[in-house]
Structure 1
Amino acid sequence: MIQIRNFYRRRQRAPAATRARSRFGALPPSMLVLLPLLAACSVQDNHPVTVIPQVVPAELYVAPDGLDSNPGTRAAPLRTLARAAQVVQPGTIVNVLPGVYHGGFRTAVSGLSNARIVFRSSERWGARIVPPPLSSNAAAWDNRASYVDIEGFEIDGSAQASGTGMEIGIGAGNAASTGMKWTTGIYSGGSYNRITGNHVHHVANSIACTSSDGGGIGVDSYYKGMHSEVSGNSVHDIGPPDCRYVHGIYMNAPGTIRNNVVYRVAEAGILLWHDAHRVSIVNNTVTASNRGILVGGGDFYHTKGLNDHTQVINNIVYDNRFGIAELGATGPHNSYRNNLVFQNPGGDWSLAQGMSHSGTVAAAPNFITYTRSGTPDFRLAQRSPAIGKGLDLGADQPDFYGKARPNAVEVDIGAAQH
């Protein structure tokens, strides 16, 4: 039986209250007599100071040869994403040039609905985020802000994958990453965020399964986050073998999970829990994991009800131990339509009593190339049974490989459009 812990709780306790002290209580009486005179002198002697507020440009640039003392222009870029995260404001676009960057930072400045903050790799997967030499954060990217886009990065935790240390490749002579191991690739605790087109891999491979939980990409409701989108990402090699607490894409709030490829995950490729409801899981491909898609609810943070009105449509769930399942507090309005579910020996389907699925394709998907090791090519070969068997859901994003999906009857099942 799957065991699910309160994975994404990151409580920050307020510091203990301290007794108020007199401002000058520790000074000798003789000094107290001089204080009014000193204060008067300081007021009279100070020269006027002109404060010039920092102006953040509409676009910032980050590059491996930059400096955090730079203004962040194209000609004088910043060096770290951590510094960029400190100076952004609503509407800022942060362009990260190809190269290797240390992870373990937090983004905490929110955008607005009409002025989103965008962090984007200038080339898809060209900006590679790796563990620092001395890791002090359990997440590669810890986002607590709202209206933020994270686009096109590679999150590579392989420096911690074996537990014995590997060179991380930033300059000469850098030691392997030590300290706190990453349990999470991209964590997002805000609302209305978009995590799109990233490559998240080899995260949490060597953690102790009983000591911490994690995943590739996590969208959390603990800080009242909601309605975020996870789309077009590659998430693989997540978690230590046989660990039931580490997942590929984890969402516990309303939102959308679309056009992702997920494989070789210790537990669920896609997991819904806690406050998840009204989630759209559409056109994903999940393989070689313990469970394919798990729709569940329980251990609620802010809601009191069921995971209901969730849609699981047009997904390929193939060659996992288990296929698509419901667990815990789920509702009667969840729908499972036009999915390809096959070769999951523990059971292709396990839905709550009274629930059913429709339009299911029970056949091998016939990918271009597929093995349980290496890098599969999840595009559909000729005569794949997934071609043209998906539901037309109206205007849609391009598929995982960037190909447009037709707004007609020829929509394919899975993350790749033939």
Structure 2
Amino acid sequence: MKGSDVGKGTVASPLRTLGRAASLARPGDVIRVLPGTYSEQLVLESHGEGAAAITLRGEGPSRPTLMPSSNRAPGAIIFVRGRWNLENLHVDVDGAPMAAVVFLPGGDKSRLTGSELRDGTAGAGVIVQGARHIRIQDNVIHHFIKAGHDSHGVVVVGPSRDVAIRSNNIHHNSGDSIQCQGGVGPAEVLLIENNQLHDSGENGVDIKECNEVVIRNNQISGFPNATIRPVGSSAGDGVLVSLGARGVVIQGNTISKAGRGVSILSQVAPPEDIWVERNTIQNIRNFPPHNGQGIRIAGGRNVHVVENTIEGTASYGLMLAADGVVVTGLTVRNNRVKGGPQRMLVRLGRESFRPGFSMRGNHYARGGALCMDGVQEKFRGAYAGYRQVFLGEHLPLSSPERLDVWRLLVGADQGSALLE
């Protein structure tokens, strides 16, 4: 590789190391990185609040490769503490216990675009830890694998704010493809949009202790990947929301080949104000065992399940307040539930676990079955004659008249109909 760190940093007099170029760069500069391999650790510092971004850009279709320096100490190859744009880079962590890129406080308004990041053994490939206004777009992030432990593709840690993760291909990591978690405070304002998230060891998207999150128009499949992570560390949710997350919208995603499609779980604190809407959920497997639900609402306040299409589930398409945990203000409407080989469409928990429950306008596959926990207790007095149409607590939908029985006993789901 040509160049000398006593050079001027011009085409005619190039520098040898990225560290030297970064130290000389001033706000608004572009560092053009020629093809080659650079074994360095970079700390990209701030030039003051309001300073223009400095761009570190790989030149040409053959991206320059950044690799660990000789000591391979835990940490990251690139720490961002100021406003920097990272473009068209290949960051190969080469099995070192390091992340590829970490955005730290002071790294506000930075971007990571058009790059490939791979092969670390720390807790994540890309970490946003306390930075604001970060954009992670059009990257491939893969094979961050820590044996027997989490190594997420991207992790956002509070109090980070306003982070957009768009149009990335994130796959084959030993943790989640994307995780958002609290730190010294919750992370807030996170957009996860138009990504391909697949074949990682735990979940597609895992949201906990984070507020104002939009998960929209992603392709999510292949969870959990047991070739990367032992079965049992996760149910392999396409999207998991827990630990008191607030204001989460899960919209327009296609989720397939997962242990569960979408799960909302209380775990320490109930999530609040959650919308699960217009998603397509299909081919949901009983793997790991005792899973296979399309949408599982097992805790929360003001959870809305609206206009989803659910088919090919190994277990219930919709499992609603049926885990012995209270779900307050649950709304379920205008969903299309087609079931899977076992034809289990809906399992509804006891009335005491769903105060403020509303259900209407859903469409169910003919021949499938609806289930309400404790329904046998209703078969007394005026309801005694309905016992014969149930198989235990399951109601097979052989005719529209069976839906009339369901509506009567549930006291909801007006406007429901059979899918022919």
Q: TM-score range by the shorter chain?
A: 0.5 to 0.7
For the pair 1:350 / 2:255, whether they are aligned, the reply is no
For residue 343 of structure 1, report the CA deviation from its aligned partner: 1.1
Who is 2:59 aligned against? 122
1:320 to 223, 226, 247: 223
For the pair 1:215 / 2:124, whether they are aligned, the reply is yes
For residue 261 of structure 1, report the CA deviation from its aligned partner: 0.4
Paired residue total: 258
Question: 2 CA distance for matches of 1:233 and 1:94?
Answer: 19
Change (3 A) 1:142 1:291: same
Who is 1:293 aligned against? 205
SS at match of 1:135: coil
For the pair 1:153 / 2:153, whether they are aligned, the reply is no
For residue 132 of structure 1, report the CA deviation from its aligned partner: 2.3
Change (3 A) 1:67 1:111: farther
- Which digits, 9 at most, give the CA deviation of each residue in 1:367-389, with x for residues without a partner? xxxxxxxxxxxxxxxxxxxxxxx
Are the counterparts in 1 of residues 135 and 165 from structure 2 also a CA contact under 8 Å? yes
Who is 1:362 aligned against? 281
For the pair 1:182 / 2:182, whether they are aligned, the reply is no
TM-score by length of 1: 0.58
Percent of paired sites with the same residue: 22
Letter in 1 for 2:193: V
1:2-401 to 2 correspondences below 5 Å: 64-110=1-47, 113=50, 115-124=52-61, 126-136=63-73, 138-145=75-82, 147-158=83-94, 161=95, 181-189=96-104, 190-204=107-121, 213-221=122-130, 225-244=131-150, 246-252=151-157, 253-254=160-161, 255-274=163-182, 275-289=186-200, 290-297=202-209, 307-321=210-224, 322=236, 323-331=238-246, 333-345=247-259, 347-352=260-265, 355-363=274-282
- Which digits, 9 at most, give the CA deviation of each residue in 1:134-185, with x for residues without a partner? 334521111111x210111101122xx3xxxxxxxxxxxxxxxxxxx33211
SS at match of 2:188: coil
For residue 258 of structure 1, report the CA deviation from its aligned partner: 0.4
Change (3 A) 1:114 1:87: closer
For residue 272 of structure 1, report the CA deviation from its aligned partner: 0.8
Change (3 A) 1:118 1:286: same
Are the counterparts in 2 of residues 125 and 199 from structure 1 also a CA contact under 8 Å? no
Question: 2 CA distance for matches of 1:155 and 1:149?
Answer: 15
For residue 329 of structure 1, report the CA deviation from its aligned partner: 2.6
Are the counterparts in 2 of residues 111 and 148 from structure 1 also a CA contact under 8 Å? no
Question: 1 CA distance for matches of 2:249 and 2:138?
Answer: 22
When you count strand as a share of all residues, which structure comes out higher? 2
Letter in 2 for 1:248: G
Question: 1 CA distance for matches of 2:263 and 2:199?
Answer: 18
For residue 102 of structure 1, report the CA deviation from its aligned partner: 0.9
Question: 2 CA distance for matches of 1:123 and 1:112?
Answer: 32
SS at match of 2:136: strand
Question: 1 CA distance for matches of 2:170 and 2:111?
Answer: 18
Are the counterparts in 1 of residues 73 and 98 from structure 2 also a CA contact under 8 Å? no
SS at match of 1:72: coil
Are the counterparts in 2 of residues 294 and 326 from structure 1 also a CA contact under 8 Å? yes
SS at match of 1:66: coil
For residue 198 of structure 1, report the CA deviation from its aligned partner: 1.1
Q: Which runs of 5+ in 1 are unaligned?
A: 1-63, 162-180, 205-212, 298-306, 365-418
Structure with bigger RCO (C-alpha 8 Å, 6+ apart): 1
Query: Over aligned residue pairs, what C-alpha RMSD do you find?
Result: 2.1
Who is 2:324 aligned against? none
Change (3 A) 1:238 1:287: same
Are the counterparts in 2 of residues 104 and 136 from structure 1 also a CA contact under 8 Å? no
Question: 2 CA distance for matches of 1:123 and 1:363?
Answer: 40
